[in-house]
Amino acid sequence: MAESSEPPERDHERPERDEHERPERRDRTERTERVEQAGRRERPEKAERGERAASDERGERAERRERARPNDIWARPRGGRRPKLTREAIVDKAVEIADAEGLEAVSIRRVASELGVRAMSLYTHIEAKEDLLDLMYDVVAVEVLVEDGLPDDWREAMIAITRKERAAGLRHPWMFELAGRSPRIGPNGLRHAEQSMAAAARLTDDPEEMLAIVTTVDHYMLGFVLREQRLREMGATGLGEARQSALEQTYIAKLLESGEFPHLRSALDTGIYNQEDFDLGLKWLLDGIEHDHRGKWPSTSSPT
């Protein structure tokens, strides 16, 4: 057998070789540890960056939806595959609930329950409760539109619109609450506003005066109907009880007996404080408006 040309490794040489190898092993170990430490640090940082990015994206989507909301509900595509569940059915049910129990009873969950579906099914058609409320208002706004065109006479046109507003307000007491809550106007609300301005335009061609006339008549109608709603809620018995309760209070009785309130005393004695005459008040209001515009487009008609 041939002998190896390399001399056998001597024991005294091994320590020297080990000493050369140890720094390399230490370097590799240190590099590995540094890489692992960097990885451990990087993982939470990546997770945190990912969470921040996801949060930013959600915020941007919400902001885009909020920017788009002012008029988007009527232009938004109507979703849903269930033929029995439509936007119209949802809104009609919400109106029914509000008429019976008040606006506070309306919620996505309640409407879904009444329709026999899950609440999530409604979000296919309506994204938020505020959208539902806007749609409810616009649906009942149809009831204040004058069909077949306005009368030629400005007073008759204004009377026709105002009577319809009053009737709709009594059928849907929550209408005026919604009108003061949302700046968004739907297509039927716009048609109503246009009819009101068109009625005023029969008296004046000044846009500012048109708006002032419409606003003044609206204020009269709104104040009367709100009071009328309250009287209807109380009923004749409730009004009588309230009147009797007031007269039985010692300080009120003393003040009335003092003679300081003769006109109020006579009204309370006769009960005419709850008298209702919508058309008479409207006539007086329109008389004043027309008197101020005499000589422009005169009209002599009056409410009947």
Q: Measure the CA–CA gap between 289 and 12, rounded to whole angstroms.
A: 123
More confident residue, 61 or 201: 201
pLDDT tens digits, one per residue of 1-56: 444 455 555 445 455 555 555 556 666 666 666 656 665 655 555 556 666 655 55
Whether 68 shows a pLDDT value over 50: the answer reads no
Q: Measure the CA–CA gap between 155 and 289, rounded to whole angstroms.
A: 10
Residue 199: the pLDDT is 97
Q: Which candidate, 145, 126, 116, places its Cα nearest to that of 88?
A: 126
Residue 42's identity, in one-letter code, is E
Q: Which candidate, 291, 161, 281, 147, places its Cα nearest to that of 214?
A: 161
Whether 193 shows a pLDDT value over 70: the answer reads yes
pLDDT tens digits, one per residue of 111-166: 999 999 999 989 888 888 999 999 999 999 999 999 988 999 999 999 999 999 99
Token reading at 197: 């301005």
Q: Measure the CA–CA gap between 298 and 304, rounded to whole angstroms.
A: 18
* Percent residues over pLDDT 90 in the chain: 42
Residue 123: the pLDDT is 87
Token reading at 26: 């230490």
Distances (CA, A) of 165 to 112, 147, 186, 229: 30, 14, 16, 13
Average pLDDT over residues 183-187: 81
Q: Measure the CA–CA gap between 17 and 29, rounded to whole angstroms.
A: 19
Residue 299: the pLDDT is 47
Angle at CA of residue 119, ends 141 and 93, nearest 5°:
30
Token reading at 46: 């990546």
Q: How confident is the model at residue 303 (pLDDT cuts 50, 70, 90)?
A: very low
Q: Percentage helix, strand, coil, to 5, in the chain?
A: 75, 0, 25
Please state, rounded to an integer, the average pLDDT across all residues of the chain: 78
